[in-house]
Chains A and B, each alone.
Chain A
Amino acid sequence: MSILVYLRRLFVTIKEEIIILPTKVITILFILFLLVLPVILPDSYLMRVLILAAIFAMLTASWDFLSGFAGQLNFGHALFFGVGAYSSALFNLLLKIPPAGSIPLSGLVAVLAGLIIGFPCLRLKGIYLALTTIAFPIILTGVVNALPGITGGELGLSGLDKLTGSRIGDYYIVTLLMLGSCTVMYKLTQSNVGIIFHAIREDEVSLKVSGINTTKYKLLAFCLSGLFAGIAGGVYAHFMRIAGPSTLSVSTSFTIIIYAVFGGVCTIYGSVAAVYILFPLMEVFQLLPQFRTLFFAAIVLIILLYMPSGFIQWIIDKIEKTCSRCGHKNHALRKICRFCERPFKYY
């Protein structure tokens, strides 16, 4: 009996809340597409592209969580990624821990890294913070290169265990991990914690005056962002079976930021969508490898000039309208708001 009630409630939710809004429909179709794709098109190369896209989507979303929401502009996000990759490689190679153990452990190590860089960064603001965070991955790169006995130097650590035996298994694990972690981040940003993050970005002093311990929340942002980025790094190391200095490079940090800006900062879904659009597009441009980065940078400039809130946000604004009276969302073709029936044409 109760199952029927739940089913009925589910049905009503789908009918009243999801079918009506194009963004929700697109999101659900996208998730279904990701889950069904290997069954209908089990192409090894395509799957590799999508696995890497999932890893970078997770990484970009974690950057957005820290820099977009909490406003702690981090220009060295590759630090967490590299720490995750190297620590899972070391756990796997030295302590012989299988991927199921080494990836969560690498996430914890990245949390530690988040705490370590979070503490000095608490005192810094805005542009000083941005310029200082660039320094951390470079410091670590220097250390990695100076200790070739442990870290493999410029070649990196190779010969890690495979994630699972098969490509499809890898695909499902990485995709589900990405969907799960992005959902967690999205839900966090929609909760009260998310409101505090918004407030830290907009006006930290007022928040302190309101009696909220901003230090705690800033460290929380660093740690959570580090956790997800570290897991992404661990998965990357096990998938590529190598952890090299390229995971720590400045261009990795910059690429993440470019993805996030393309999708729209301060929206977790924007980052994910941006990576799933840009990453396969870059693979198409593999045919002309010399034009890849040029094309990439040019896209970003165009986006910044003509769609300052990001490409994904721009599309959402085109297909959805927000009612100015009750704040509910409607699809763009509606003449009146579906809740308070206020007409849209007057403004």
Chain B
Amino acid sequence: MVVDIIISTLINGSIYSILAIGFSLVFGVARIINIAHTAFYMLAAFCIYAGTNSFGLHPVLAMGAAIIFVTILGLASYKLIIEKIRVHPAATIIATIALAMIFQEIMILNFGAEFLSVPVLVEGFTVVFGVKITYQQVFTFIFMVILLISVWFLLMKTKLGLAIRATAQDRETANLMGMNESMIALVTIGISVGFAGFAGAIVIPLTVIHPHMWLSPLIIMMAVVVLGGLGSIKGSIIGAFIMGLTEAIIVFLLPMGSFLKGSVALTILIIVLIIKPEGLFGVSIEGE
């Protein structure tokens, strides 16, 4: 039981944190609430399915192609649609909702609304304290940790990361200091969508693929971001693991737990917000 909860927490927490960091970065830098963020995660999953099933690609190759395709699609939809209405926050949210719905519908048209699955990358399992752990789970977790470390490295140790953080903190000043704000926004969106695609690609052998799979991670991801504080990377990671842990505990300990997991996680979110309206590590953005 305890081991089950720990495994579930680690895997879900790392997925949520990758998604939440991407979402939070885009919000911080470009002030865009990207509802379609998890739709890109869904698209990556479908790309891998199509790549392995229809084109007969090797799974690893399909993963690479999926990530590249999703990133290009994300950049294109930003350039063609979102950038023109970026100044109106509400319009941006609605446009991204519409985008996500369009992606979902196109996937339903192409693949049908059935549950699909892709083969695992790594076969086999091991038993720890009487609990079966597949190597795919271990592999997913390790990849997620590598991804998290590389995000941290990118943001904290590179010049681009410095520019991204500076823009997130104060757009106008960063612009005055010679950082090309619109270029940085574009790069950030590329990175964010790329990470969403990567998360989808890594995690997909563990779950099933269907066109509505973007909705439930979307809700939890938003909860994570609000819980941790919008624009805070540390907050996103900690919030993600809190949400992952709550979900795991609810699912394994309560009867009817799988129905209630979203409810309890979101109730925690609301309680935190009542006590601390800007989230756990949020910075107040009232000055805008």
Residues of A at under 8 Å CB distance from B?
73, 75, 120, 123-128, 130-132, 134-136, 138-143, 145-146, 250, 254, 257-258, 261, 265, 290-291, 293-294, 296-298, 300-301, 304-305, 308
Residue of B nearest to A143 (CB): B263
Given A146-B260, A146-B263, 13 more A-B residue pairs with CB atoms under 8 Å apart are: A73-B90, A130-B93, A131-B226, A134-B219, A134-B222, A135-B219, A135-B270, A139-B263, A141-B262, A146-B259, A297-B98, A304-B91, A304-B94
Decide if B102 touches A297 in the complex (CB within 8 Å).
Answer: yes
Q: What residues on B are CB-neighbors of A124 within 8 Å?
A: 273, 277
A-B contact count (CB 8 A): 121
A131 in contact with B225 (CB, 8 Å) = yes
Is B206 in contact with chain A by the CB < 8 A criterion? no
* Beta-carbon contact of A128 and B277 below 8 Å: yes
The listed residue with most A CB atoms (<10 A of its CB), out of B98, B102, B104, B105, is B98
Residues on B with beta carbons closer than 8 Å to the beta carbon of A294: 101-102, 105-106, 109
Q: Is B5 positioned at the interface, with any CB of A under 8 Å from its CB?
A: no
For A257, the chain B residues whose CB sits under 8 A away are 94, 97
Q: A250-B219, A261-B91, A300-B98 are in contact. Are A138 and B105 (CB under 8 A)?
A: no
Q: Tell me which residues across on chain B come within 8 A of A140, comparing CB atoms.
A: 263
Please tell me if B267 contacts chain A, counting CB pairs below 8 Å. Answer: yes
A142–B220 alpha-carbon span in the complex (Å)? 14
Does B283 make an interface contact (CB < 8 A)? no
Q: Do residues B262 and A304 form an inter-chain contact, with CB atoms below 8 A? A: no
Check B97 against A258 for contact (C-beta < 8 Å). yes
Contact call B267/A139, Cβ cutoff below 8 A:
yes
Name which residue of chain A comes closest to B108, CB basis: A290
B85 within 8 A of A: yes
Interface size class of B (residues with CB under 8 A): 35 or more
CB neighbours of A300 from chain B (8 A): 94-95, 98
A-B pairs with lowest CB-CB distance, top 4: A142-B263, A135-B266, A294-B105, A145-B259
Closest CB of chain A to B212's CB: distance in Å? 9
Main secondary structure of the interface of B (DSSP, over half): helix
Q: Could you pull out 12 A-B pairs where Cβ atoms are within 8 angstroms?
A: A120-B270, A120-B274, A131-B33, A134-B222, A140-B263, A142-B261, A142-B264, A258-B94, A290-B105, A298-B98, A301-B102, A305-B81
| A132 with B263: CB separation less than 8 A | no
- In the complex, B186 has a CB within 8 A of chain A: no
Q: A127-B33, A135-B219 are in contact. Are A308 and B85 (CB under 8 A)?
A: yes
- Complex contact B266–A139 (CB within 8 A): yes
In the complex with contacts A301-B98, A304-B98, A308-B91, A128-B273 CB distance below 8 A: yes
Q: Which residues from 254 to 276 on chain B have a C-beta closer than 8 Å to any C-beta of chain A?
A: 256, 259-264, 266-267, 269-270, 273-274
> Which residues of the other chain, B, contact A298 by a CB distance below 8 angstroms?
98, 102
Q: B219 and A138: CB pair below 8 A?
A: yes
Q: Closest approach, in angstroms, between the C-beta of B255 and any C-beta of chain A?
A: 9
| Smallest CB separation, A61 vs chain B (Å) | 17
B159 at the interface (CB under 8 A from A): no
Q: What is the distance, in angstroms, from B232's C-beta to the closest C-beta of chain A?
A: 13
Within 8 A of A (CB), among B229-286: 230, 256, 259-264, 266-267, 269-270, 273-274, 277-279, 286
Q: Which residues of A contact B88 (CB under 8 A)?
A: 308
**CB proximity of A132 to chain B, nearest CB, Å:** 6
- Chain B residues near A142 (CB, 8 Å)? 259-264
Residue picked from A75, A131, A138, A146, most chain B C-beta under 10 Å: A131
Residue numbers in A under 8 Å from B164 (CB-CB): none
Question: In the complex, what residues of A have CB within 8 A of residue B270's CB?
Answer: 120, 132, 135-136, 139
Is the Cβ of B273 less than 8 Å from the Cβ of A126? no
Whether B89 sits at the interface, judged by CB under 8 Å, is yes
How far is B50's CA from A213's CA once the two chains are assembled, in angstroms? 57
Residue of B nearest to A261 (CB): B94
Cβ A131 vs Cβ B262 within 8 A: no
Contacting residues, chain A, for B267 (C-beta < 8 A): 139
Q: Tell whether, in the assembled complex, residue B98 and residue A139 are in contact, meaning their CB atoms are under 8 Å apart.
A: no
Contact in complex: A297, B223 (CB < 8 Å): no
- Say yes or no: A130 contacts B94, CB within 8 Å: no
Verify if B99 is at the interface (C-beta below 8 Å from A): yes
- On chain B, the residues within 8 Å of A296 by CB distance are 101
B155 at the interface (CB under 8 A from A): no
- Selected from B85, B98, B223, the residue in CB contact (under 8 A) with A258 is B98
Chain A residues with CB below 8 A from B230, complex form: 127-128
- A125→B286 contact, CB < 8 A: yes
| B225 proximity list for chain A (CB < 8 A) | 131
User: Provided the pairs A130-B33, A134-B222, A143-B263 are in contact, do residues A123 and B277 lie with their beta carbons within 8 angstroms?
Assistant: yes
Docked complex Cα distance between A257 and B106 (Å): 21
**B109 — which chain A residues lie within 8 A by C-beta?**
290-291, 294
A132 x B226 contact (CB < 8 A):
yes
Q: How far is the CA of A135 from the CA of B272 in the complex (A)?
A: 13
B278 touches A128 (CB 8 A): yes
B167-215 contacts to A, CB under 8 A, are: 215
A301 to B102, CA, bound (A): 10
Query: Bound complex: CA of A254 vs CA of B226, how far in Å?
Result: 20
What is the bound-complex CA distance between A300 and B88, given in angstroms? 15
Query: Is B97's CB under 8 angstroms from A254's CB?
Result: yes
Instruction: Write the nearest CB–CB distance from B251 to chain A, whole angstroms.
Output: 12
The answer to whether residues A293 and B105 also contact, given A125-B286, A135-B266, A142-B263 and a CB cut-off of 8 A, is yes
Chain B, Cβ-Cβ closest to A300: B98
Query: What distance in Å separates the Cβ of A68 from its nearest Cβ neighbour in chain B?
Result: 9
Chain A residue with Cβ nearest B279: A128
